[in-house]
Amino acid sequence: MGRQRRTQPVPSNNGDGKRDDKRDDKQDHKLDKKNAKANLILAKAQKALAAAQKRKWLVILIGVAIAAFYAIKSGAGSGLIDVIKSKLGM
């Protein structure tokens, strides 16, 4: 005759069994982990959108600055510069 194996307790339906508590804890942990991953993905997406908006305005600003530089350098903006200087009293 072989050795007698230990039997596991039968899960109780009234909530006082340790096995039910462990199962509930494990399910809660899995759900918390799933929610945390979803929140992390949403946060990364929001950060990427904010960075894209900032980059868009930076590109627009650099484009305007380059256009203004070439306009002033070519002399096309000299009349505009003279008007501004006269308004400032220079």
The distance from CA 22 to its chain's CA centroid, rounded to whole angstroms, is 34
pLDDT in tens, 2-32: 787 777 766 656 555 566 778 888 888 899 9
pLDDT at residue 21, as a whole number: 79
- In-domain check, residue 31: yes
- In-domain check, residue 12: no
pLDDT at residue 18, as a whole number: 64
pLDDT at residue 1, as a whole number: 60
- In-domain check, residue 7: no
Q: pTM of the prediction?
A: 0.47
Total number of domains in the chain = 1
- In-domain check, residue 61: yes
pLDDT in tens, 27-63: 888 999 999 999 999 999 999 999 999 999 999 999 9
- In-domain check, residue 45: yes
Can you tell me which residue has the tokens 């070439």?
A: 70
Judge whether 12 and 3 are in contact, CB under 8 Å. no
- In-domain check, residue 53: yes
Run of H or E including 25: helix 18-74
- In-domain check, residue 5: no
Domain range for 62 is: 19-88
